[in-house]
Amino acid sequence: MTRLFSPLDLRDTTIPNRVMVSPMCQYSCEQRDGLATDWHRTHLGSRAVGGAGLVMTEATAVEPRGRISPEDLGIWSDEHADALRPITEFVREQGSVPAIQLAHAGRKAATSRPWDGHDPLGPDEGGWAVVGPTDEPWPYEGEAPPTERLSVEEIESVIDSFRTAAERALNAGFEVTEVHAAHGYLLHEFLSPVTNTREDDYGGDFEGRTRLLREVTQTVRDVWPDEKPVFVRISATDWLPDRESWTLDDSVRLADRLGVDLLDVSGGGIHPDSRPEQAGPNYQVRYAERIREETDLQVGAVGGITTPEQAEALLANERADLAIVGREHLRDPYFALHAAETLDATEEVESPPQYRRAFGF
């Protein structure tokens, strides 16, 4: 049996293979209301048809001001859960596990979509007041909108938003929930000394800066059923070696304290100067590998995974437990089925009967 097409058991949930669709923003809520559309159903459903073991939504905002753009997906009301339910049902019918990433964009919120410039939006352009650990805004090249420093009471409200979002996600039929604490968004902003210069219980030293993420993760775990897994996505490093920043050592130190079932290991995003030390195939896998070696957690690896052979090798060599494939899934919704053909693993995959005449199953 190939490692890529072996099942992964997390609590009582079995992921049928180790291919995960990475959360990728679609910026496609037509009415700017955060409600899932036919685009989301087609995008996520086609990757399930394509054989991925776990299909995760894009960053899904736990409150309106937590969206990156006005067109982002949300889950801050029962109506949002109702819109997502047909998607989870379809994904499950294809034999895949439906998953959701719960997110808050923090000071990187209220921007236009990438193809519209990805610029900050003022109130007259559909934007809103953004929040962060301090009032220091994201360093845009042009004028940045004001950022409001979250008070302790407002932080408690954010934690509650993650709790109610998790409850709605469960009602919508998701099997796995992931807390987004990477890429310079709100929870990462609290982790990193680059953006968190608070001097209260949510800032200062490592203990204070990690407190919000630990409390969010705990409140999600409290409402998520014991038999279902919880993930966290982190930026393992800020990629800012010349200044005080979040490092891989910090990530290793934090990992076992989160109480989650799998760590989704990415990197960067905290500042415009944040750049990877190297790029190319598997360029972030070494972060996942070290966390896996030095903690008790299972890990998912991301970054430049584009071929079946790559994905199989990083799992077979015990560098990670899950291959998280992003852009290649945009290019090829049927990545997992093509991988099964390439790796001569067609007997290990349940392909859609409607498509069998096109694949070697």
Phi then psi dihedrals of residue 54, to 5 deg: -135, 125
Residue type, 14: T
Q: Return the closest-CA partner of residue 262 out of 291, 220, 226, 219.
A: 291
CA dist., res. 358 & res. 72, Å (int): 35
For 257, other C-beta atoms within 10 Å of its C-beta total 13
Q: Is residue 82 classed exposed, middle or buried when 0-12, 13-18 and 19+ CB atoms within 10 A define those classes?
A: middle
User: What pairing do the DSSP bridges indicate for beta strands 8-10 and 13-15?
Assistant: antiparallel
Residues 323/305, Cβ–Cβ less than 8 Å = yes
Tokens 């932080």, located at residue: 155
Q: Token digits for 256?
A: 């076992």
For 6, other C-beta atoms within 10 Å of its C-beta total 16
What are the angstrom distances between the C-alpha of 204 and each of 20, 73, 193, 207, 253?
36, 33, 8, 8, 16
**283 is an active site residue:** no
- Which one is catalytic: 185, 202, 287, 334? 185
User: SS3 helix, strand, coil % of the chain, rounded to 5?
Assistant: 35, 15, 50
CA dist., res. 337 & res. 51, Å (int): 6
Q: Report, as residue numbers or ranges, the catalytic residues.
A: 185
